[in-house]
Chain A
Amino acid sequence: MAIQLDLPLTEDKVKKLKAGDQVLLSGTVYTSRDAAHKRMMDQLEQGEELPFAMEDNVIYYVGPSPAKKDAIIGSAGPTTSYRMDPYAPSLLDQGLKGMIGKGDRSKEVIESMKQNKAVYFAAVGGAAALLADKIKKVDIIAYEDLGTEAVRKMEVENLPLIVVIDCEGNNLYESEKEKYNRRVEHV
């Protein structure tokens, strides 16, 4: 059974989430991917305020396709997370509590997640039309010039996610793969 999880994501809530949990996430998330992360890093270095406060918040790594006239957003599935790995620890230090993407994370990110008590969720890569259905409101709040990579504030309702790496560093990508691994060596 999926867990109903409401945002903001406080430390108490993070601690209860375990790798393997299926979650239906509701509330406000912020989008950011490659170019936006780079800009946020520059702003941090300059001592400037970020486009949104990291504390108890969740970033969705997504670059949506354009919205049709009668829609608020186009397709919106997760992008591959490892490209954000160089930036994630700094944002976790700022209080970021959750990340939504797909694919494994670096050791440094997992260490930082353990230290800062944060969680990493995976959404199903490519299931972008299904995920867009769960997005109820969207506003661009920063870096509009980046187009699809602009930072968006999104209201989501029952976004289907899986806890892949929990705040203790348990990693589903490793544990589940191991269960089904029957690799045969030919050489």
Chain B
Amino acid sequence: MREILADQIIDHIKDMCIEANCHVSQDILQAIKEKKEVEASPIGKNILEQIEENAYIAKNSMMPMCQDTGMAVVFCEVGQDVHVTGAPLTEAINEGVRRGYEEGFLRKSVVKDPFFRENTKDNTPAIIHYDIVPGDQIKLTLAPKGFGSENMSKIAMLKPADGMAGAKKAIIDIVEQAGANACPPMIVGVGIGGTFEKAAFLAKKALLRPVGQQSAVPYVKEMEQELLDDINCLGIGPGGLGGFTTALAVFIETYPTHIAGLPVAVNISCHATRHCSRIL
């Protein structure tokens, strides 16, 4: 049984909070650059330029790219031959978030109770998804999620008869309703199948894929491309102020489901889609 110290996990999570919030990832920056060259709307083009300039300022001054530094979402793959010592794993992850948000001057946006809304002042608790996998490593992926776009996410419980066409329409409708509120250009994460909560989880997990990396499943890959083309025909554009750059990517994850159902969840993310991973 391999041992990993909780302190190591704390340090990694802390550093990842700061790194993810201040560095626009290369895949997104590259996509913004490419779209800037072809965007037909002058206002849209100008917004893409501002997004690009913002990325440089954020990186150079180690400032968060967006003031909404999100709720910390952690995907944690735990090898079944690993033993965490010194503190429970969940506590270590939360302590890492606590330190990262404090030391990185990141905004603390979490409230204790959904109605009474007192700020926890340290951005904890994180949302943690555990997956037990073979091996003796831990893979940590941190994805801070802002709520401008999170608020625009939705799930549709379709009928099997709605099929692929129905799923596509539901996804496009959700993106269209999100419009300017979700800080386009967006990354659209889609989860199809499973149960109500599995579909939502898959939609969030889909957002972790780098822009440009399409699904390995041929029909899903085709669906992703068609949806991206259709979404970019909605006219929403950068900032919602018109244009052909509404989304940079559509990522779909699927899962087996029940004979009676077709859950389709859409987790919308803004151009400030952030994530970074480390393997311990």
Contacts and interface: CB of A to CB of B under 8 A. Distances in A.
- A pairs with B: yes
Interface of A: 20, 22, 35, 62-68, 74-77, 79-80, 82, 102-104, 122, 124-130, 132-133, 147-148, 160, 162, 164, 172-173, 175-184, 186-187
The bracket for how many chain B residues form the interface is: 35 or more
Interface in B53-76: 53-54, 57-58, 61, 63-69
Contacts of B107: 63-66, 74-75, 148
A102 B180 contact: yes
Given A80-B151, A124-B239, A187 B165 contact: yes
Given A173-B179, A176-B241, A182 B233 contact: yes
Q: Which of B46, B64, B108 has the most CB of A within 10 A?
A: B64
Interface of B: 40-41, 43, 46-47, 50-51, 53-54, 57-58, 61, 63-69, 105-109, 117, 119, 121, 148, 151, 165-166, 168-169, 172, 176, 179-181, 183, 230, 233-237, 239-244, 270-272
Given A75-B58, A128-B58, A164-B241, 14 more contacts: A20-B43, A65-B63, A65-B67, A66-B105, A75-B64, A75-B69, A104-B181, A128-B65, A130-B53, A172-B242, A177-B179, A180-B242, A186-B165, A187-B166
Contact of A104 (B41, B54, B179): B179
B50 A130 contact: yes
Given A74-B107, A130-B50, A173-B241, A65 B183 contact: no
A81 B229 CA distance: 28
Contact of B57 (A124, A133, A178): A133
